[in-house]
A = this chain, B = another copy of it.
């Protein structure tokens, strides 16, 4: 572990996972953002490894993230329960009125890392359920500074409580009350607070002799987008770009801090995002998915392809690129492996990426030709194998939503692909070659030998996946206004307890 005198010792390194919120693949300079707002991330890539084929586990969502559950469990949402079956192929949400959260059957990464002495902290957004039994310290984290839900608001407290901000197990205030976000100017200090929480934890842990796991999950690129005063107005593309610049600056400060503390050769850092950019929110409140189709909420590449950079000086070769198909669930398995832990006995969807990450530059190790599965709820929408993506179902959003001005694919239209009905293609799937055609614009002709050959390779992979899949009970089917954050632990001390309504649960309904 870190107690070793040799800083280059790779056993039980510190682990930092930086998970952005609604940031798109195309928001990084190194992934093509014309405004070039990320010199620190670009440098991180130049010193580490870029993974252009990195995926989230779900294209969700507005006020929740199955991808966060997938990261911390290493399992698909359909397997860990973080989904809904209230409608067909519906994205799941965790608004305040959600009753459920992360199942007590799931063992999260920080709990497993404890076996190797790791101290774990989450900074920022949790989103795996806000009722007491679902909170981070109940699931293996030792520390928390952040919020259980999205920073929507401000609310009238008689109708709906503002989201609490927690320090460990107790609230220390609420968004828009003690923790200001000015929706008009876009000003908020939250990213700075989340940065300081990270730097402080890293410093304390560097002195402690125990390895640490830091899960850094700021939410400033999720709508309503905010940045602190020194960053407002600095980008070429408005408030969203300002938020990206502040996050990039924070990443730079964290990496510099590791070097200043001389622990950079013993700290594995991974940067990614939880889902594609929310392009339906328009240019002021959303990012870029680069050349990819559509965005958040969809199973097109724009919804699920994520920026990804791995950094570990002395271990991960600099200026390297791996085309390995990888997923946020792999961070679970990879973290265990780096910590020196064997995989647990239950079914995982994540793979250990360390052979890919730690390869020497001349050695192009890649893992088995593993598939990527694209789900909405419990519906398998598509699968990727090698460069090929096979769509069994397509749906952008409903005609009703589309006609009301909500567009998950603004400016894009691929006939028969960006459909506004849930369209089934299981008999004759739509196949794209994502190398030649990353934008999913040119379906491969059904009559070609390429099509037939791809289908014959993919079909048994999908059959095996579906035959062996045991879906968990869906945790996100029920809603109840009484379940909202009326009186979080610690509210008494602050005099901030609110009184909620009687319990009247209903089946949650999502339009997409």
Residues of A within 8 A of B (CB): 26, 29-36, 39, 46, 50, 52-53, 235-238, 240-241, 282-284, 288, 290-291, 293, 319, 321, 323, 387, 410-414, 433-442
Contacts and interface: CB of A to CB of B under 8 A. Distances in A.
A50 B35 CA distance: 11
A433 B238 CA distance: 10
A413 to B, nearest CB: 4
Given A34-B52, A321-B36, A26 B291 contact: yes
Nearest to A440: B411
Contacts of A283: 433, 436-437, 441-442
B26 A52 contact: no
A414 B442 CA distance: 19
A441 B410 contact: yes
Contact of A236 (B31, B39, B46, B387): B387
A235 B282 CA distance: 34
Contact of A411 (B46, B50, B238, B439): B439
17 contacts: A26-B291, A29-B321, A30-B32, A31-B34, A32-B32, A32-B291, A34-B52, A34-B53, A35-B323, A36-B50, A237-B435, A238-B436, A240-B436, A283-B436, A283-B442, A284-B436, A410-B442
Given A236-B435, A435-B236, A442-B282, A34 B290 contact: yes
A35 B32 CA distance: 12
Contacts of A441: 283, 410-411
A342 B255 CA distance: 48
Closest 3 CB pairs of A and B: A32-B32, A411-B441, A283-B436
A467 to B, nearest CB: 31
Contacts of A26: 32, 290-291
Contacts of A288: 291, 438
A387 B33 CA distance: 15
Contacts of A291: 26, 32-34, 288, 290-291
